[in-house]
Amino acid sequence: MQRVLVAFGTRPEAIKMLPVVRALRECKRFNVSVAITGQHRQMLDQVFEVFGEKPDIDLNLMTHNQKLPDITALIISQMSIVLGGFRPDLVLVHGDTTTAMATAIAAFYNRVPIGHVEAGLRSFDLAQPWPEEFNRVAIDSVAEYLFAPTSGAAENLDREYSRGRVYVTGNTGIDALLHVSRQIEVEEREGSNSSRPLVELDPHRSLILVTGHRRESFGAGFEGICSGLAKLATRDDVQIVYPVHLNPIVSEVVRARLGGLNNVHLIDPVSYVDMIRLMKRAKVILTDSGGIQEEGPALGRPVLVMRDTTERPEAIATGTVSLVGTDPLRIYSEVSALLDDEPYYQRRARAVFPYGDGTASTQIAKIITESFCT
């Protein structure tokens, strides 16, 4: 059996990689081992429960106030030890995190082939998102298997020097989203969902769901976001739910600026399943998340991205997603336009699937299987 090491450290990576792990295991041709760094410790554990999985190797490398150079060096050194012990034939990483980039470097140093799931995304600005744009460019430069989610991402890779083979597979995040969304719908039909509501919501007010955590928004960016949300909270017809990221640079500003405001519910980070429930319930989603730019359109929810650039132009092209930056007046006016103009809202609130049909994981497993068998 061929040995495949799947490495990740954050909740978004787990959401998008565990479907790949399951697909590889179903092939019966691979000895699959999952190694995690624990970048998102609590949130990561929740996702494993959803998919009925557990890590084989838990490096648990994160410490309080850890700096990027420190965690990068630590991941490279510790993953090198893992590679020496497991001796994989292939290492799979995802996306643009520090875990993915550092693991890819460790694999390259140890002469182990690398597969990059969600390859080819580009904002073409190394400062936005930072450091993620650098991370994904670095991974793509050394990967031998480049699993691009869209034809646009594949074209980005074709325009660059690439030593790897490019495959368009769709995005594995849609696989996970559709799987969990179907589970939620079954639970609701059968009345078996016994979970408590995360927050008491007024059925007569529109729910604005907010997520925000990007490093490039630290400081003035988050001040602007909070000012925009505070202005939105003055509307009598809205209620804002904001699961606040655990990073104190984010949480301290958000709770100081928005804590105690009417119509604003600041809650702790929620599980993946609960986030999907909130997204399905939301009227509008405000976010700086990459994954939600993919998930929102599939759920038929308008998404306003609190960034100036995006590496996901396919979502913008559908008309369901738009960039609003961190300017408070623009945030307020864009949300208000959706709430106040029903025909405009309906044009934006339609289910579209620019990131695949939910079969990306099986396609990736098939490609890897055929590669090893030839």
How large is the angle between the packed helices 68-86 and 98-109, nearest 10 degrees? Answer: 50
Query: Which position has the token pair 């960039």?
Result: 323
In the residue annotation, 245 being an active-site residue is answered as yes
Q: Crossing angle, helix 360-373 and helix 172-190, to 10 degrees? A: 130
User: Residue 316 has which token pair?
Assistant: 């913008």
Cα gap 368→146, rounded to integer Å: 11
- Is 29 one of the annotated active-site residues of the chain? no
- The first and second tokens of residue 240, run together, are 């804002």
Q: Kindly name the residue from 96, 133, 216, 311 that is annotated as catalytic.
A: 96
Instruction: Please state, in angstroms and rounded to a whole number, the distance separating the CA atoms of residues 72 and 19.
Output: 26
**Which residue is catalytic, options 215, 257, 265, 330?**
215
* Residue 96 designated active-site: yes
Q: Active site includes 215?
A: yes
Catalytic residue status for 118 = yes
Give the residues across from 165 on adjacent strands. Answer: 145
Check if the beta carbon of residue 146 is closer than 8 Å to that of residue 166.
Answer: yes
Please identify which of the residues 13, 118, 140, 295 carries the catalytic annotation. 118
Residue 62: exposed, middle, or buried by beta-carbon count in 10 A (0-12, 13-18, 19+)? middle
Question: Contact 208/176 with Cβ under 8 angstroms?
Answer: no
Q: Which of 213, 277, 301, 312 is catalytic?
A: 213
SS3 readout for 264-333: EEEECCCCHHHHHHHHHHCCEEEECCHHHHHHHHHHCCCEEECCCCCCCHHHHHHCCEEECCCCHHHHHH
Q: Phi first, then psi: what are they for 288, rounded to 5°?
A: -120, 10
In the set 22, 235, 245, 277, the catalytic residue is: 245
Torsion of CA 43, 45, 50, 51, to 10 degrees: 120
Please report where in the chains the tokens 């490096």 appear, as a residue.
Answer: 59
Between the CA atoms of 112, 116, 117 and 121, what dihedral angle is there, to the nearest 10 degrees? 170
Query: Residue 242: which residues within 8 A CB-CB, separation 6 or more?
Result: 209, 210, 211, 212, 229, 254, 258, 264, 265, 266, 267
Which among 132, 133, 216, 294 is annotated as catalytic?
132
Catalytic machinery residues: 96, 118, 132, 213, 215, 245
